[in-house]
Chains A and B, each alone.
Chain A
Amino acid sequence: MSIIIFPASMGSFTQNNKTVECEAESVSDCLQKLDALFPGFKEKLCDAQGKPLDSFNVYVNGENIAYLQGIETKLNNGDEMAIIPAAAAG
């Protein structure tokens, strides 16, 4: 089980949930499951290929997935995934 963490600025995506537990094998799988939980989540967050838009950063255990294996980054039990607006990183 991984823990997905969101800042309040992402509240409109997550029905104001700040943490969600998710059983997923990869970031891609997790995004799919979040979309089932919060309809429209992926459409707002990702491009047609399912990759996060430039306006969002996705982290696994603090590391931007852009420096890991992108959406194919594996998730293990206890991993923390965070999704934040990229504007915050400026």
Chain B
Amino acid sequence: MMIINKPDSHFIFVFPTDHINGRYNYINYQGKALTNKEYLEHWGKFVSFGSPKEIDAIARALDTYVEQKVIPCIKYDRSPVTDLGLTECVLCVYCDDRQKNDVWAILKEHGVYIKAWVYERETVEKWSPGGMLLEKWIASHNLSEFQAEQVREGARRKFREMFKYPELTFRGIEQ
């Protein structure tokens, strides 16, 4: 059991124990860590929906697959993100697109009923300046134009730094 539930975080994570102990990088394909370029090309997630109780139950049922490294990682909402207009919690099950058919077969077996695959590059785009989610987040926080521009510049800088060297191993996105 390696569910990381920190009360001060909106998200609850499921990682393999070896990842927590620093002995394993779950962002890999067939054992090889992804580079920044490969991350943007191949890494993504299946998104699913449900009440906090339903989502938590699915995550707990999938924990064993994460521990066995069949599913790389899971992230789910503690409560619905109402700021973004959602009324349900979202469950994200991450993997490389080259293994997504195997991962989907497991999710389906455990009652996940919506099949929706999202590349991380789409998420990066949505949280970049001008992106739908960043702009919606800015609008929902009543920021001044100066503050909004600072937020945009922060996002721009963060993603530029993260993906500056395509051939380096991807190091993760701060949540």
Inter-chain contact A90/B114, CB cutoff 8 Å: no
Interface footprint category on B: 20 to 34
A8 at the interface (CB under 8 A from B): yes
Chain B contacts for A57, CB-based, 8 A? 116, 118
* A84–B92 CA distance with the chains assembled, in angstroms: 14
Partner of A90, one of B80, B87, B126: B126
Interface string of A74-90 (1 = CB under 8 A from B): 00000010101111111
* A85–B88 CA distance with the chains assembled, in angstroms: 11
B122 at the interface (CB under 8 A from A): yes
Interface string of B40-71 (1 = CB under 8 A from A): 00000011010000000000000000000000
Chain B contacts for A90, CB-based, 8 A? 84, 123, 126-127, 133
Chain B contacts for A87, CB-based, 8 A? 81, 84-86, 132-133, 136
Interface footprint category on A: 20 to 34
Partner of B126, one of A63, A84, A86: A86
* A59–B114 CA distance with the chains assembled, in angstroms: 9
Interface hits, B73-104 → A, CB 8 Å: 80-81, 84-88, 90, 104
Residue among A7, A54, A62, A80 with the most chain B CB within 10 A? A7
Inter-chain contact A7/B126, CB cutoff 8 Å: no
* A88–B117 CA distance with the chains assembled, in angstroms: 11
Q: How far is the CB of B40 from chain A (nearest CB, A)?
A: 14
B23 at the interface (CB under 8 A from A): no
Inter-chain contact A84/B115, CB cutoff 8 Å: no
Inter-chain contact B133/A62, CB cutoff 8 Å: no
* A21–B104 CA distance with the chains assembled, in angstroms: 22
* A61–B133 CA distance with the chains assembled, in angstroms: 25
A50 at the interface (CB under 8 A from B): no
Q: A54-B132, A86-B132, A87-B85 are in contact. Are A5 and B117 (CB under 8 A)?
A: no
Residues of chain B whose beta carbon lies under 8 Å from any beta carbon of chain A: 46-47, 49, 80-81, 84-88, 90, 104, 113-118, 122-123, 126-127, 132-133, 136
Taking A88-B86, A90-B127 as known contacts, 16 extra A-B pairs with beta carbons closer than 8 A to each other, sorted by chain A number, are A7-B114, A8-B88, A9-B80, A9-B86, A62-B46, A62-B116, A62-B117, A64-B122, A80-B115, A84-B116, A85-B84, A85-B85, A87-B132, A87-B133, A89-B116, A89-B122
18 A-B pairs, CB-CB below 8 angstroms?
A5-B113, A9-B49, A9-B87, A57-B116, A57-B118, A62-B46, A64-B117, A64-B118, A84-B49, A84-B114, A84-B116, A86-B126, A87-B133, A88-B90, A89-B47, A89-B126, A90-B84, A90-B127
